[in-house]
Amino acid sequence: MPMPPSLHELQRAFGAALVGGDGEPLAPWIAARGIEPAARLRIYRHANLAIHVEALATSFPATLRLLGEACFDGVATRHAAWIGSTSGNLQAYGADFPGFLAAQPELAAYAWVAEVARLEWLRQETALAAPGSLADPLALVLALAAAIDPVVRLQPHLRVCSSTVPVLGLWRYAMESGRTVAPDGSPEHVLLWRAPEGIAMRAVGPALADFAGALLAGERLAAACARAPATAPQELLARLLEHGLIAAISPATEDASA
């Protein structure tokens, strides 16, 4: 009789059976107890897939509504079976789901669905991001006036979504009752942040989206302003200050990641 596998080997084989469906190497070491080992593994595998599909449905409710339950369940099950989660925390599961949707041949004519899913994952990131300190607006203005090409640090929960489709309009069309007319096909830029009442989403112009994205990427003020040359820096900063999205302003000698 062969030597029994170690606990580590059993755990790896069990994980492989859940993801890949091949439980044959593990079967000799599973007590039947009224259920064949292969059937017992199928129960665990189906339960594992169902948990992952439910996690995707929770994170992507608008995508589910746009695709319909049957289609969403099929593509989510495929994602769970082929890719699955690399983390024990299911809140982190789904970051690659928008890209997975975009790669599915049957959804090629519905590329906008993947864009809505991308917006929904940014909502997830916003909800889970670390809280930021709310700086005094007057202190920010004085710091901005005193510094030369400062580092403007934005709230860590702020996200920017720039899309070639009306992504926020589509999300609202799917999620808000009473909307019976889909938006037109115009591109849309969206700022997302965590507000007291929940996740705030605001459609903005491309200048503000590019400016905020540059600051989030760690660029200094002058470089970020260069991305929106047709808009005054004061106007761009005022829009961010309006919603409390600027956390701090530091002299250019300080590291932007500090």
Q: What pLDDT sits at residue 89?
A: 80
| Number of neighbouring beta carbons within 10 Å of residue 57 | 16
Q: Which of 108, 128, 148 is the last residue of a domain?
A: 128
Q: What is the mean pLDDT of each run of 10 residues along the chain (258 residues)?
A: 61 59 60 64 73 95 96 94 77 94 95 97 96 80 81 95 96 83 86 95 97 96 94 92 90 54
Pick the last residue of a domain from 100, 128, 156: 128
Quick one: 200 and 103 in the same domain?
no
| Statement to judge: residues 50 and 169 lie in one domain | no
Report the alpha-carbon distance of residue 249 to residue 60 in Å, rounded.
35
Residues 10, 115, single domain; the answer is yes
Total number of domains constituting the chain: 2
Strands 188-195 and 198-204: antiparallel
Same domain, 180 and 99: no
Q: Where among 96, 128, 160 does a domain terminate? A: 128
Say whether both 98 and 181 belong to one domain: no
Q: How far apart are CA 117 and CA 97, in angstroms?
A: 7
What are 246's strand-pairing partners? 154
Where are the alpha helices (H) located in 60-184, listed in sequence order?
61-67, 69-82, 97-102, 111-128, 137-146, 167-175
Q: How far apart are CA 221 and CA 175, in angstroms?
A: 37
Tokens of 57: 């449905």
SS3 223: helix
Amino acid type, 192: L
Q: Residue 236 carries which DSSP code?
A: H
If asked whether residues 144 and 90 sit together in one domain, one would say no
What pLDDT was estimated at residue 4?
67
Residues 178, 104 share a domain: no
Q: Is residue 188 within 8 Å of residue 135, measured between CB atoms? A: no
Domain of 28, in residue numbers: 1-128
The predicted structure's pLDDT at residue 43: 65
Q: Are residues 98 and 180 in the same domain?
A: no
Instruction: Specify the pLDDT at position 256.
Output: 44
Q: Which of 209, 216, 212 is nearest to 167 (CA)?
A: 209
- Looking at the structure, do residues 96 and 145 belong to the same domain, yes or no? no
Identify whether residues 40 and 53 lie together within a single domain: yes
Residues 136 and 258 in one domain: yes
Q: What per-residue confidence (pLDDT) applies to 258? A: 44
Asked if 9 and 108 sit in the same domain, the reply is yes
Find where tokens 């037109």 sit. Answer: 184
